Amino acid sequence: MFASTIRAVARRAYTTEAAQALTRAPAATAASSSTPATSADVDVSVISGAPGNLATQRVVKIYRPAKTAMQSGLDNTRFWKVDWNAEDRWENPLMGWASSADYMQGSFMKFRTEEEAIRFAERQGWQYEVVEPAEVKFTKKVYAKNFTFVPGKLRYIHTK
């Protein structure tokens, strides 16, 4: 009960702030045009709450993750990721650990399509680069190829 109350209050506060920002930002353009401004017309970076240098200095990478070596399925490759490029690291003089001041290092976002990810990055005012997934090439393999005669050294050397 307590968590749902907090969520409702936070949702109300967020929608109030968002509505105020939306009414402030398009005020100049709404007076000059007869069509009302929609949420797609507004730069969301104004109300996102993200630090300013995130939009101006950082570049996000939009990509589809590759299949891991631990599995043969494609389950975790069906979405697009938005990830921040890593910033500089340094060695901690006390323990020798790798340190970083990058607060976006471990965070990423998932989207169903590439277009959704690009649209989100553009609305946030972020610079982005899109990395297209590598094309999967299938080569036809035949089991009988293991037993064909090849002149020269033996390919398979058995100890028993």
Print the SS3 string covering 45-86: HHCCCCCHHHHHHCEEEEECCCCCCCCCCCHHHCCEEEEECC
- pLDDT tens per residue, the chain (160 residues)? 455 555 554 455 555 555 555 555 544 444 444 455 555 556 666 666 666 766 667 789 999 998 888 877 888 888 999 998 878 888 888 888 888 877 788 889 999 999 999 999 998 888 899 999 988 888 888 898 877 777 877 666 677 6
On whether the pTM is more than 0.85, the answer is: no
Rounded CA-CA distance 101/57 in Å is: 15
Rounded CA-CA distance 8/4 in Å is: 6
